[in-house]
Structure 1
Amino acid sequence: MKLTADQITEIKAFISKRGFTYPDVQLEIIDHVASRVEELMSNDHTLTLHQAISITHGEFGIMGFSVFEDSMISSLQKRFFKLFISIFSSYFHWKYLPAIAASVYLIDRFYVAINNPGYFVAGVFMALLITLVATGITYEVKYKKYNKMLTMRMGNSYVVICAVIYNLWNITLNQFKLYQKLSVSTAGLIFGVLIVLIILLFLVVDKLRKITISNCIELDEKYNLLSSL
């Protein structure tokens, strides 16, 4: 049987009282519980909604939904990581390799032309900072109500990888003056590879955010949870 809007509202109210931390985890739990309640009430037409909810809740044991929440968080993190690896790997398909190689070469030539590691690192840092700020403002304005989502926070954690890679280059090649032991072209190639890698990571994180937001919008349209937050 199909649950009515009022029945969905009751399920939402029941689950909302359990104090879940992340809206997307709560949406996933609502989706799971609603599906199970539908199944129970379809198999036994004598069951009331409250009885079906109680049975569903009892199936999680004495810890109730808290166990499911931990499981969902772990599941989302694993799914997010697998999706991250899948999207990142897709950018190394043969059809993208010429563009990647060309980008590395152009950065190398630009580095050689400037031939000043300090200025070059400062310029790249400013470009990355402007990109981060612009992206952050865009997401804050456009997807403000999704900022509390676990998936959004996990996406932000991958941005840290970009900063780590940049700082790794900055420390090894600039602060430790490692570039002095390398030819200008070699240092430029290394820098080009790292910059392209950072750009790819930004693209992957952006795509991940859009996918996860799309999934949550789909659930939100079904259960109308985030609209009330």
Structure 2
Amino acid sequence: MKLSKAQIKQLRDLISYKGHVYIDVQYEILDHVACKVEAFLEEKPSLSLDQAFREVFASFGHKGFNELDASYQKMIAKRHWRYFWEELKLFLFSFKALLVFGVFTLFYNLRFAFESTNGWIGGLLMLFICFVVLLAGIHWKKFKKYRKYASFNTTGNFFAIVSFVYQLCSFSYIMLNNSLKNETIWSNYGVLAITGVLMLMYCCLFILPKVFERSQGDTEALIQVYGES
């Protein structure tokens, strides 16, 4: 039997009650569940929709719909990383790459102007944090609109890069401080190596907005399909 719109909405509500809060995740699960519910109702017309749903849910085992949820979000994560690498390739052949290179060349050449020999790392970190705060503010405005969709919500995972840069700078500060005291080879090549790594991190600040925009486009398409935001 074919489910009515009211029955489909009821199924979606039941899926939501199972803890799957994102709208696109609910519809992804619904695609799998609706057909099975229809089959159960065809086979046992005496069953209520709720009973048929319980039968279907039980057929997924003790994990319920969690594997479907995880599979969908994993697919989204792969898509975002594909966007990231595509945008990185475009960035490396744009004028923005020269801008980042220019900023780091300036910091590298002016590193002895800082009171601390490795104070340039702190300067780069402060600049990075300013950019991240600005990016997070822009992202948050969009997040409020699309927070009900996993297709956009998962882009927040990219902000883990902030923690990575902080740890990298802390490690660099300690290593450079020790190496400069002992005059090891790290003091000669370590500065250049860390500058190069941090340069790549700064490149991400230009790439992530593009990834967010493409994710926003995907989410807008889902809103058009599902009619909800």
Q: TM-score, normalised by structure 2?
A: 0.66
- Which of 217, 223, 228 does residue 226 from structure 2 map onto? 223
The corresponding residue for 1:146 is 146
3-state SS, counterpart of residue 67 of structure 1 = coil
CA change 1:198–1:104 in 2 (3 A) is same
How far is 1:144 from its partner? 0.8
Cα distance in 1, alignment partners of residues 222 and 153 from structure 2: 18
Aligned length: 220
- The alpha carbon displacement at 1:193 in A equals 1.8
Does residue 121 (structure 1) correspond to residue 118 (structure 2)? The answer is: no
Matches of 1:108 and 1:144, distance apart in 2: 38
Q: What is the rounded CA distance, in whole Å, between the counterparts of 1:9 and 1:47 in structure 2?
A: 21
Tell me, yes or no, if the aligned pair for 1:57 and 1:64 is still in contact at 8 Å: no
Question: In 1, are the aligned partners of 2:76 and 2:151 still within 8 Å (CA)?
Answer: no
CA shift, 1:168, in A, is 1.6
Match of 1:108? 105
CA distance in 2, matches of 1:8, 1:219: 17
Q: Percent identity among equivalent residues?
A: 15
Q: Deviations over 1:80-112 (max 9, x none)?
A: 0x3344334335548825864774465134311
Q: Deviations over 1:30-80 (max 9, x none)?
A: 2442576379869x99999x9678656634435579522333224413540
Q: Which residue of 2 aligns with 1:156?
A: 156
Greater Cα shift, 138-147 or 57-66: 57-66
Is the contact made by 1:111 and 1:120 (CA closer than 8 Å) also made in structure 2?
yes
Match in the other structure for 2:193: 190
Q: Say which SS state the counterpart of residue 14 (structure 2) adopts.
A: helix
Matched with 1:89 is 85
Q: Secondary structure at the match of 2:73?
A: helix
1-side partners of 2:130 and 2:42: how far apart? Answer: 59
CA contact 1:152–1:209 (8 Å) conserved in 2:
yes
C-alpha RMSD of the superposition: 4.4
TM-score by length of 1: 0.66
Gap regions ≥5 residues in structure 1: none
Which structure has more RCO (C-alpha within 8 Å, separation ≥ 6)?
1
Q: Is the 8 A contact 1:166 1:194 kept in 2?
A: no
Distance in 2, Cα, partners of 1:29 & 1:65: 18
Cα offset for 1:143?
2.6
Q: Please say if residues 84 and 208 of structure 1, whose CA atoms lie closer than 8 Å, have aligned partners that are also in contact.
A: yes
Q: Distance in 1 between matches of 2:186 and 2:60?
A: 62
Residue 58 in 1 paired to residue 55 in 2?
yes
Aligned equivalents of 1:79 and 1:174: distance in 2? 38
Give the unaligned 5+ runs of structure 2.
none
* Distance in 2 (alpha carbons) for counterparts of 1:198 and 1:62: 46
Distance 1:222 1:6, change over 3 A: farther
Distance of 2:173 and 2:53 partners within structure 1: 58
Is the aligned partner of 1:200 residue 2:203? Answer: yes
- Is the 8 Å Cα contact of residues 103 and 196 (structure 1) preserved in structure 2? yes
1:119 to partner: Cα distance? 3.9
